[in-house]
Structure 1
Amino acid sequence: MKLSELLRDVTPVVIQGDNSIEISGISYDSRKVQKNFIFVCIKGDTVNGNDFIFEAINNGAIAIITDENLPPKIENVTFVKVNDSKIALASISSLFYNEPSKEIGLVGVTGTNGKTTVIHYIGDVLEAYGNPTGLIGTLGYEFKNKQINIERINPTTPESLELQTLFRNFIDYGAKNVVMEVTSSALYKNRVDFCDFNVGVFTNLSQDHLEIHGTMENYKNEKLKLFRKCALGVINLDDKFSKEIIEKATCRILTYGIDKEADIKASKIRYDNDSVTFIVGLKGISKEITINIPGKFTVYNTLATIGACYGLGLEINEILNLVSTIKNVPGRLELVNNNSNKNVIIDYAHTPDALEKLLMMARQITKGKIIVVFGCGGDRDKSKRGIMGMAAGVLSDYTIITSDNPRTENPLDIIEDIEEGMNVIKANHEKIIDRKKAIERGLSLLKDDDLLVIAGKGHEDYQIIGNTKIHFDDREIVQALLG
């Protein structure tokens, strides 16, 4: 494809050189540049691509896109200065792969909690309906049993180049839909620009990622962007931010909820130890459904799923018949099977709101005491630590504060930040820095009707200590200790 064609939706500030050259590939990593590639200089948290322009040229780049001042002219290399390299990368990546998001039903799910669960629920229903569906999110890139050989640069929403590559790969494999998590960071950093979303889903909004956005107002405004990029917004009407999102969205709106009179409403909810049953009402149709996953948030996640599938054009009765195919998601409210018949749940809850809802659900299904093992991540929003400590203290009978992913922070400092919240309410707790020993201690306290909740890491099979990632899986620890 010619460079001029790739620049169709980019307004260059300056073009220095020939824009009719043929481009064979795109990269923003100079080490991956090959012959006749464009190298796009983007700035990361620690690395600036502009520092690697000459390395890229040595590796074969014949065009450079940058939002900084151009270097001296180099023979046979075209330089393009733009206002924002991230936006340019998203645009040219989409065009290079022939705008793949226009060929599929694309669903983006945003919110503080529930994104991973909702994309998997939607995927389950769409697959049961007969629509092959690719998933992009925290658990990786998934499409049937296909091997997706695309490096994961970001933990949840890929950089725009990888994202457009994924779309094209999924389509080549036969996907009719793609369902993806859309993080506030991805919206802030233009990773999902030039994506043609059919449906955007809003789950909820509570405190998180303030180390990136600074304030809740900024965080909320990033989430809002999705509903200016999609054709239909499926919005949780029970969330306090829903009114503002609806008012500022440019898309059509479909609401869901339990407490308010939403378009898709759940009523007559019955909670059991391993399931939840409720009546769904939508467009004059009413049907009782049972999901074999407990908890109030299962109801919300199911309603979001129904809305997204309806927005993709599935017939409502078919959707309501197929929601029974929804399966539990690894590391999300996962009951750990063990030979000792102990009640142990692992969950990814790592925000105050998620931990609170998790423990409220645990209280509904537990006859005995609730024991919690959790910590908070290092180099992340410190202000939520004490709040999570208070939530655990109020809603559990005993808490063991431990390490999560301390990263470059002192684990004890993080634990003491959490403990400040617990001390406010004089909650019963202890501190064990070693996460394995903390889990072992929690298991030792369990009696027959008690429940141990191990929160914060869920599906993760590692700990990040300093700058080193080591293997660590809460599930494996429990099963090794209990058999």
Structure 2
Amino acid sequence: MRLKELLCKVEYELIRGNLSQNIEAVQFDSREVRQAGTLFVAVDGFETDGHRYIADAVAAGATAVIVERDVPEASAATVIRVADSRLALAEVAAALYDYPTERLQLIGITGTNGKTSTSMMLKSIYEHSGESMGCVSTLGTYIGQDVTEQRHTTPESLELQRLFRQMVDAGLRHCVMEVSSHALHLQRVAGCRLDRVVFTNLTPDHLELHQTMEDYYETKARLFEMADKHAILNGDDPYGRRLIARCRERDAEYITYGIEADADLRASDIRYSETHSDYMLRTPSGAIAIRVPLPGIINVYNSLAAIACAYADDVSLPAIQRGLAALSGIKGRFEVVHQDEELKVIVDFAHTEDGLEQALRTLRPYVRGRLIVVFGVYADRGEAGQAKRQAMGRVADRWSDLAIVTSDNSKHRTMDTFLREIRSAMGRGSHLVYPDRREAIEQAIRLSRRGDVILLAGKGHEQTQQIGSERIPFCEAEIVRICLAEQQQHAMARYANSLLT
């Protein structure tokens, strides 16, 4: 494709060079430039600045570069200057893959908690209504029967548009995408055409990036300016109500859902259990009984968000009912990894103050013994990170019988300070500290008694633990299995020894 065609939706200034040249590849990582005819987009990132590597990119074959400032190193290449390299990358990526979202009914889901569960519920609803649905999720990218892992909840724009192109080529007409606040802040979804957008809730998270809840909200609110059709909004959430007011001001179409509010779609007569929730769904088209095969009020809300989104696309109520009932569980979301008469162990992705409280409060009514939680807090240094650590410490202290504080993707951070900050908010409740997460899990199991429930909070579906720059294999379900097997072996050995004495 000619460079000029790739730039057709980009506001730019040509500093020097030829816009008629053919471009064979686009990259924003200089290490990935491997052929002549590459367009290199210099992005100023969190850890390094792509402008520093323009000479490397040109030496490796880049014949054109997009920059935000003057760079004399690029004298051998065509130079295009833009105000925002990330925005330009997103628009170029969409052009490179021939605007695949123009051929998809794309749904974006945003909010602090519930994005993954809502996405999986929506995917199940569509598939049980006879429509295949692609999915870009924290759990990975789903294209037909193929699932691929990804590093970010919402991939970088170049990767994202490539995935959309694969979906279109595979014959898919629908896709649901989780949209993180980082993705909106970093322009990853610019260049996408969205049919509908969904808001779940907003509670404190990522404040090391956004600094304030107001900035966090405004970042999320950008997505709702991109919807071609409906906005799907939680009428019970205070930030959801603000989005409703914005939609009214813009005369934009929206559908509300809720439990308490007078919403378009509402759950009533809710009956909670240890494994699922039942309720009566009330809509302008009538009422129908719904079973959600996941426990807790949070999953009632998640199911309502998915239902409202499908309802806006004229999916029938019986198809919605079938799709939710058929959901067999969601990886790392209230996932029971062990259960017998003695002990139940659950893995959940709860990694925010609100998420942890929701998980513990959901479990509490069904615990015969003690509720034990193992948790760490992944958050940066500074006031925002400290506030998150202390808030999660308070939640664990209040809602569990025994809290075991540990690490969660410590990366290059010194854990001693972080663990002290968590403990400083925990009052007089029973708690222990084991910086090594594997050891913390093992101790939770060793200390458990008949009827206890252990919640391993924070990692959910994740299969690695990042320590320093290294990602170490770390499957909590496997750790639980091994620990319980070792306990059983030790018990059998003790019993055998007792027979000999």
TM-score under structure 1 length normalisation: 0.95
Work out the percentage of aligned pairs sharing the same amino acid.
Answer: 37
C-alpha distance 378-72 of structure 1, shift in aligned 2 (>3 A): closer
Partner of 2:491: none
> Within 5 Å, which residues of 2 pair with 1:265-284?
265-284=266-285
Contact 2:128 2:322 in 1 (8 A): no
**Aligned partners of 1:379, 1:10: CA distance in 2, in Å?**
34
Distance 1:384 1:439 in 2: 22
1:449 corresponds to: 451
Unaligned runs of 5+ in 2: 486-501
Q: Counterpart amino acid of 2:90?
A: A
What is the deviation of 1:192? 0.4
Partners of 1:466 and 1:40 lie apart in 2 by 28
Listed one character per residue, the Cα deviations across residues 81-103 of structure 1 (whole Å, up to 9, x for unaligned) are: 11111111111111111110110
Per the alignment, residue 394 of structure 1 pairs with: 398
1:186-226, CA deviations, whole angstroms, 9 ceiling, x for partnerless residues?
10111101211111111110111011111111111100011
Q: Secondary structure at the match of 1:451?
A: strand
CA 1:339 to 1:294, structure 2 compared with 1: closer, same or farther past 3 Å?
A: closer
Q: Report the equivalent of 2:245.
A: 247
Which of residues 384, 388, 400 is equivalent to 1:384? 388
Aligned partners of 1:204 and 1:239 also within 8 Å: yes
The 2-side partners of 1:215 and 1:480 are apart by: 43
- Residue 194 of structure 2 is aligned to residue 192 of structure 1: no
| Residue number in structure 1 paired with 2:407 | 403
Task: Tell me what 2:9 maps to.
Answer: 9
Question: Displacement of 1:368 after TM fit?
Answer: 2.7
Report if the CA contact (8 A) 1:28-1:49 is conserved. Answer: yes
- Counterpart in the other structure of 1:481: 483
Alpha-carbon distance in structure 2 between the residues aligned to 1:370 and 1:204: 26
Cα deviation digits, residues 329-370 of structure 1 (max 9, x gap) = 111100113567521111110100000111110113223321
Q: Distance in 1 between matches of 2:440 and 2:121?
A: 32
Contact 1:117 1:329 in 2 (8 A): yes
Conservation of the 8 A alpha-carbon contact between 2:342 and 2:449: no
> 2: CA distance between counterparts of 1:104 and 1:72?
40
Q: What is the identity, as a one-letter code, of the residue corresponding to 2:399? A: L
SS at match of 1:329: coil
> Aligned in 2, Cα 1:318/1:145: closer, same or farther, shift over 3 Å?
closer
Alignment partner, residue 235 of structure 1: 233
Indicate which of 466, 475, 482 corresponds to 2:468. Answer: 466
| Structure 1 residues 69-108: aligned runs within 5 Å | 69-71=70-72, 74=75, 77-108=77-108
CA contact (8 A) 1:118 1:305 kept: yes
> Aligned letter for 2:241?
K
Partner deviation per Cα, 1:205-254 (whole Å, 9 max, x = no partner): 01110111111111111000110011211111111111212222454211
Take 2:232 and 2:300, find their aligned partners in 1: how far apart are those partners? Answer: 15
Aligned length: 477
1:54 pairs with 2:55: yes
Distance 2:4 2:288 in 1: 54
User: Quick one: distance in 2 between partners of 1:365 and 1:240?
Assistant: 30
CA distance in 1: counterparts of 2:376 and 2:32, whole angstroms = 38
Q: Distance in 2 between matches of 1:147 and 1:117?
A: 16
How far is 1:54 from its partner? 2.1
Deviation at 1:422, TM superposition (A): 0.6
Deviations 1:416-466 (A, max 9, x none): 11111112xx21112122222221221233333221111111111221222
Larger CA deviation: 195-204 vs 304-313: 304-313
Query: What is the CA deviation profile of residues 160-193 of structure 1, one whole-angstrom value per residue up to 9, with x for unaligned ones?
Result: 1111011001111222211111000110111101
Listed as ranges, the matches of 1:320-359 within 5 Å are: 320-337=321-338, 342-359=343-360
Partners in 1 of 2:340 and 2:323 — Cα distance?
Answer: 33
1:432 paired residue among 434, 441, 449: 434
1:108-187 paired onto structure 2 within 5 Å: 108-146=108-146, 148=148, 152=150, 154-187=151-184
Q: Residue 20 of structure 1 aligns with which residue?
A: 20
What is the aligned partner in structure 1 of residue 369 from structure 2? 368
Amino acid at match of 1:253: Y
Q: Secondary structure at the match of 1:476?
A: helix
User: Aligned partners of 1:165 and 1:340: how far apart in 2?
Assistant: 48
**Which residue of structure 2 lines up, in the alignment, with residue 64 of structure 1?**
65
Q: What TM-score, normalized by structure 2, do the two folds share?
A: 0.91
**Aligned 8 A contact 2:234 2:241 in 1:** no
The DSSP-based 3-state class of the residue aligned with 2:21 is coil
TM superposition shift of 1:73: 7.2
Q: What is the deviation of 1:284?
A: 3.4
Deviation at 1:262, TM superposition (A): 1.0
Matched to 1:280, the amino acid is L
Cα distance in 2 for partners of 1:477, 1:195 equals: 40
Instruction: Report the AA paired with residue 325 of structure 2.
Output: S
In the alignment, the residues of structure 2 paired with residue 203 and residue 147 of structure 1 have an alpha-carbon distance, to the nearest angstrom, of 25
Distance in 2, matches of 1:72 and 1:29, equals 16
